[in-house]
Amino acid sequence: MGAIALRNVEKTYGHGPKAVKVIHGVNAEIPDGEFVVIVGPSGCGKSTLLRMVAGLEEITGGEIDIGGRVVNQLEPAERDIAMVFQNYALYPHMSVYDNMAYGLKIAKLPKPEIEARVQKAAKILELGELLQRKPRQLSGGQRQRVAMGRAIVRQPQVFLFDEPLSNLDAKLRAATRLEIRKLHAELGVTSLFVTHDQVEAMTLAQRMIVMDAGRIEQIGTPEQVYGTPASAFVAGFIGSPPMNLLAGQASGAQFTVDGQTLQLPAAAPRDGALTLGLRPEHVVIDPDGLWPLQVEMLEMLGAERLVHGRLGGHLFTLRIEGTLVPPRAGSTVRLSAAPQQMHWFDAASGLRVGP
């Protein structure tokens, strides 16, 4: 069983007054067979956390449990995990077959067993016709599939992916995401996948761990994280374009932003300093709308357009269908939004306020 439990996991570099704490008491439970994506901006600690699970970084505090064993003191080879890195790390002088089989040969598995495992992985990843090629004869996407194949043949309890798609172009990334999803559906192995790309996170994850500054901001399904962000950070990080966040003062059904008072369709959850969040797709142009938007720029994205402007002195974006007649840059349009689409966050802590 490949369940993973992280219990108050900490990581500090250095000692004494110069010590720098980069992971602050992370707690998470990942059931056997689940695909979890750790997502966050550069420097948030997601790769460090993954490397601690792999045993490539020492743990300063807490426990990491894999398959019912605390693995803090175990070497990477003893943890029954397989890792796929950002760089493919293939042996250039070896064929695809030998790259995939190398770890099994070192483990002294019988040749028939090695052959069976490599052929099975090659079939899953559609590498059968490439087994005798060298890495230099492969495309980037094919090399990444070989790296995944090398992990599959190990038949581990856990797969760890450290930004494996970041070296691929956009088209290959999309194709490889589908391959990873199919791979997990077929093998059902517990998987931890690290990325800073929210599209990868939303499309791959059964559940997401959103991190910021070494702390977990939210754990949930993509639908939960997108629909009910737990903090202003999550709201602004997940979504493209990101959620509009307006900092102001609430008083009943009025919200004052940079000196401009906006009438709300319903009272704010409480009075005082709050941040109002609205997804670009949840705001509509409405002649009878309560809020004036000064249009500054439009972006055509095929099936949709993004309208950028200023609302209460803040930059504000809304998404409209590409078939609609767009407003002109320099014009003022009125906006409306349903109360249930409004997200409220505490101005000081950034935590969600209300349901």
Radius of gyration of the chain (CA): 24
Q: Which two tokens stand for residue 206?
A: 């059964």
| Same fold across 32-56+69-231 and 241-353 | no
Tell me the one-letter amino acid at 277.
Answer: G
Q: What span, in angstroms and rounded, lies between the C-alpha atoms of 220 and 227?
A: 10
Q: In CATH terms, is domain 32-56+69-231 a member of 3.40.190.170? A: no
Handedness of CA 185, 191, 195, 201 (dihedral sign): positive
Q: What span, in angstroms and rounded, lies between the C-alpha atoms of 97 and 90?
A: 11
- DSSP letter at 231 equals B
pLDDT digits (tens, 9 = 90+) for 276-316: 999 999 999 999 888 999 999 999 988 899 999 998 788 99
pLDDT digits (tens, 9 = 90+) for 187-214: 889 999 999 888 889 999 999 999 999 9
Q: What span, in angstroms and rounded, lies between the C-alpha atoms of 205 and 228?
A: 16
* pLDDT the model gives residue 343: 96
What are the structural domain ranges in the chain? 32-56+69-231, 241-353
The CATH code for residues 241-353 is 2.40.50.140
Q: What span, in angstroms and rounded, lies between the C-alpha atoms of 34 and 135?
A: 31
Q: What is the mean pLDDT of each run of 10 residues along the chain (355 residues)?
A: 91 88 94 95 92 93 93 90 83 90 88 90 85 88 85 88 81 82 87 91 94 95 95 93 93 90 91 94 90 92 91 89 87 91 94 88
